[in-house]
């Protein structure tokens, strides 16, 4: 069941969606100023030390909203309350939760006015939200394998008006798979492979991840949180 903003009292969230008994997806429609976001952020003294010094007001708001969202998702976790948990970033920029249960995993993304996060107990997660624009289509040859590019050209030939949206979706799906893989140095057009699918407003994209000579199959969910945006995400419980 998706819990919408109208059902969430005193919280400026857009939605909270359980993905499994151990994972939850949250969306935040960003309308607040940095000052508004600081006011409701747990452990502000820790975050004041972590806020990027070069972030302008827009980036600060996105950064703070991401942390507010993750703390809200922690309330949905089956683990005991983690009042002193702090969202940090590792050397590769991936977020992790200091002070949380050891098996807590999180993925975070922001673009424009939207922030998305997936939090889970165990397993692997990846999430990405993107503003639809023509950049992905212009750079398609750099991140799409030949078969993927051929599929994309066929799809956009059938629906010319969907060109930018379709290529942005493909880029976003690879971003979510990249975050799921949690390894540096991955070549998008060789190691993150998307298979044929019928584009709809929401659905799933079958994918293959190629790491260390081994291939694994995955499924990337996608939807549109609002006009002009795409959202992709994946969660794989611990085995």
On average, the pLDDT of the chain sits at 91
List the domains of the chain with CATH numbers.
3-122 (3.90.470), 131-225 (no CATH)
Query: In the 3-class helix/strand/coil scheme, how is the chain assigned residue by residue?
Result: CCEEHHHCCCCCCCEEEEEECCEEEEEEECCCCHHHHHHCCCCHHHHHHHCCCCCCHHHHHHHHHHHHHHHHHHCCCCCCCCCCCEEEECCCCCEEEECCCCCEEEEEEEECCEEEEEEEECCEEEEEEEECCCHHHHCHHHHCCHHHHHHHHHHHHHCHHHHHHHHHHHHHHHHHHHHHHCCCCCCHHHHEEECCCCCCCCEEEEEEEEECCEEEEEEEEEECCCCCEEEEEEEECCC
Please report the pLDDT score of residue 82 as a whole number. Answer: 72
The whole-model pTM stands at: 0.92
Please report the pLDDT score of residue 5 as a whole number. Answer: 47
Q: Poorest-confidence range of 129-138, 160-169, 223-232?
A: 160-169
pLDDT digits (tens, 9 = 90+) for 170-218: 999 999 999 999 998 999 999 999 999 999 999 999 999 999 889 999 9
Please report the pLDDT score of residue 8 as a whole number. Answer: 40
Report, as an integer, the average pLDDT of 80-107. Answer: 88
Please report the pLDDT score of residue 210 as a whole number. Answer: 97
């Amino acid at each position: 069941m998706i819990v919408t903003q109208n059902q969430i009292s005193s919280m400026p969230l857009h939605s909270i969606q359980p993905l499994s008994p151990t994972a939850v997806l949250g969306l935040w429609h960003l309308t607040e100023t940095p000052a508004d976001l600081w006011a409701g952020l747990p452990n502000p003294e820790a975050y004041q030390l972590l806020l990027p010094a070069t972030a302008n007001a827009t980036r600060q708001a996105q950064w703070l909203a991401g942390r507010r969202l993750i703390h809200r998702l922690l309330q949905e976790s089956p683990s005991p309350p983690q009042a002193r948990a702090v969202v940090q970033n590792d050397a590769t920029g991936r977020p992790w939760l200091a002070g949380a249960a050891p098996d807590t995993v999180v993925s975070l993304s922001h673009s424009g006015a939207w922030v998305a996060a997936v939090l889970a107990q165990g397993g692997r997660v990846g999430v990405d939200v993107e503003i639809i624009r023509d950049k992905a289509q212009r750079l398609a040859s750099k991140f799409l394998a030949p078969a993927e590019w051929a599929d994309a050209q066929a799809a956009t030939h059938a629906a010319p008006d969907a060109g930018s949206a379709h290529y942005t979706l493909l880029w976003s799906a690879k971003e979510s798979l990249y975050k799921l893989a949690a390894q540096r140095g991955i070549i998008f057009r060789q190691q993150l492979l998307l298979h044929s699918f019928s584009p709809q407003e929401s659905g799933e994209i079958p994918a293959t991840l190629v790491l260390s000579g081994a291939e694994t199959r995955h499924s990337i969910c996608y939807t549109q949180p609002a006009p002009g945006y795409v959202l992709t995400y994946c969660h794989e419980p611990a085995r």
